Amino acid sequence: MTAATLLAAGLAVQGEGMDIALFAMMLLCAAAMDLLILLPIRFGRVISAILCVLLPAAAFFALENYTHVLSDLEIPIIILNLLFFYFLYGFLMFLCGSVQVGYLVATLVPMIFGLANYFVVSFRGSPIVPWDILSIGTAASVAGNYSFTLQWKQALAVLLFLWILVFAGGTSLTLRRVKLRISGALVFALCLFVYLSGIQKSQVQSFFGMDTILFTPNVLYRNNGIAAAFLGNLRFLHIEEPSGYSKARVEEIEAEYMQQDDETTGDSATPESGTPEEKAGQTDGIPAKKLKTEVTLTECPNVVIIMDEAFSDLSVWGDFETSEEVMPFFKMMQDEAIGGELYVSVKGGNTANTEFELMTGDSMAFLPMGSIPYQQYINEETPSLASQLKSLGYSTTAIHPYNASGWDRNIVYDLFGFDEFLSLKNFVSPHKMRGYVSDRAAFDKIIEVYEDKAEDERKFIFLVTMQNHGGYSKPSPDFTSYVKLTGVEQKTTSMLATEKYLTLMNETDRALQDLLLYFKEQEEPTIVLMFGDHQPSDYITNVIQRICNVKVEETLDYAQQGYRVPFLIWSNYGLEHQYYDGISVNFLGGILMKAAGLPLSGYQEFLAKLQESFPVVSGNVYRDSEGTFYSYGEDEEKESGLLDYKTLQYNHLVDGKHRDDSFFGTQ
């Protein structure tokens, strides 16, 4: 108990600084707990019975205080959460045959879960959801790059849990009769089953006044209580079938766009051509090259996609001064080739969801909040951008300079149609930053794959980087920040972490410039798409918001600023300049195919048409052509315009038995 108390206090000192009064109090509490444990003190039956009633409620109180306070909850919500705690404690008490053992085990559940949830919120800005259980392996592989610290508030919550363990250990009530134990365990197991089934139903949620707005998970957990919010989210484990869904309806939608695809294939399959003078001026020293219009595979461009980890332009929050420009080359290319702003569905983590939207054209909008499609829904061969290009004759390579099993990529990439997957084991002594393979080394791997191909071969290379992964506050002996926030006198830990992040962005910018300079020297036409998967965690963006005096607003427009990342499409044969001022990732694959002069699938034709009315359809919001953001469920009449999209996505992702793969680009 002393060790656990000192560990919590030490993490609080590391995270928030020394507080003499609180530190002394925790030492005294540790000494008092030790006395209760070491002395042969056992509470009588009356006190033990009182503790049976009080301890589950105390555990509920302690759990809530990890991330918010009990006063945030309404009385019906408190009752709803308490019911779960009493059912859990009662079940384990009867199962173990004593209050002492059952309550000890039951207390460890919210204690550990709440602490894990606090760290997850700190690292990625959103709480644990049921599907995170599937991502434990991925999370563990990167955990070493984060700093695990507490605030004093969380340290006190740990202390309260320790006291609950001590009091539970002093109880003396036992349940010796086997029949009583079995019957009691069965009754409480039934109560838990009814509770879990009921809390997922809209009628029960409405009765207790639960918040059902999925847009802001942190607010959802604050308003519903951590236990009730987590368990209520279990109802989203399965994808809901769209209203009016049928094979006939799918074929009816597809018929229109397959016909359009047939009519337009000839034009859309002709790559753009033109001289440097006919294209937007490129002052970066990367001249455009003319691409012949005869359509054969060898005259189609190599396609390179770079999804860069946490790559974002934090100036979306306002103007702030730095010692040097953060990403000057990238911004210059955006002004000269094809560029714009993407709205993604995640922030601070869950990279695989942005990747999923790009590769499939599907949207997280129609999937359960917090779900990870790679781990939940991709369990058979699924048409993707990779299989589409493979059908056109391309050889396909995926690259990720980290563990192959992360987000189940080693399984998903094969089902997507990639010929090969190069992971960390395929990098020999690469250059690293903060322990991760640098973007420069990852870009060099792109060049290596390109140079190893046959002369008449066309490559699709898809890279997901790692250099800019989270954990910016952790000391990094192999990395020194050189991009500084100017005009700021006192540099907090968060500010220093932000400077590290900005330096990483600049390193990526420099590496990208060298990569594009390489390809501009190549005779073969090549097109490159680069974009960020999400913004960094809140502790980085909050620094910029404070510097820019950003006023926090409870509006969709304000919230979506945290989901904006830049993208760029460049080619060594020249592209007409175009700027997309806000689209979602699911439309990006079709835009790339069109820019490359390659035929669009029927699905991409459908998405191109949909984009005119709804340029943003993300997991958080959708936006209409007039620029207004809407949360799902806010305007049912307007949202009905997305029903065909939801229908096609369900057919694509769930109803593989009735799926026409050719519509999604796979022959």
With contact defined as beta carbons under 8 Å apart, do 373 and 356 qualify? yes
Distance (Å, whole) CA 651 – CA 251: 10
Q: 240-259: b or e for each residue (b if 16 or more CB lie within 10 Å)?
A: eebeebeeebbeebbeebbe
Instruction: Report the chain's C-alpha Rg in angstroms.
Output: 28
Q: How many other β-carbons are positioned within 10 Å of the β-carbon of residue 480?
A: 8
- Please give the angle made by the CA atoms of 57, 92 and 209, to the nearest 5 degrees: 45
**Domains (range + CATH), the chain:** 2-236 (no CATH), 252-664 (3.40.720.10)
For residue 89, the model assigns a pLDDT of: 94
For residue 288, the model assigns a pLDDT of: 36
For the chain, which residues score pLDDT lower than 50?
A: 215, 260-295
For residue 140, the model assigns a pLDDT of: 65
For residue 273, the model assigns a pLDDT of: 40
Distance (Å, whole) CA 205 – CA 228: 10
Provide CB contacts within 8 A for 79, sequence distance 6+: 208
For residue 264, the model assigns a pLDDT of: 44
For residue 472, the model assigns a pLDDT of: 87
For residue 407, the model assigns a pLDDT of: 80
For residue 400, the model assigns a pLDDT of: 95
Q: How many other β-carbons are positioned within 10 Å of the β-carbon of residue 367?
A: 23
Distance (Å, whole) CA 544 – CA 472: 15
Alpha carbon dihedral 528, 534, 537, 540, in 10-degree steps, equals: 50
Distance (Å, whole) CA 120 – CA 477: 25
In the chain the first and final C-alpha atoms are separated, in Å, by 63
In angstroms, the Cα distances linking 207 to 204, 288, 507 are: 5, 64, 53
The 578-584 sheet, strands edge to edge: 420-422, 395-399, 459-464, 302-308, 526-532, 564-571, 338-343, 578-584
With contact defined as beta carbons under 8 Å apart, do 448 and 288 qualify? no
For residue 259, the model assigns a pLDDT of: 54
In angstroms, the Cα distances linking 6 to 39, 63, 538 are: 21, 20, 28
For residue 549, the model assigns a pLDDT of: 86
For residue 141, the model assigns a pLDDT of: 59
Would you call 528 helix, strand, or coil by DSSP? strand
What are the phi and psi torsion angles at 530 (to 5°)?
A: -135, 140
Q: What share of the chain is helix, strand, coil (3-state, %, to 5)?
A: 55, 10, 35
In the block, residue with structure tokens 């900005």: 502
For residue 265, the model assigns a pLDDT of: 42
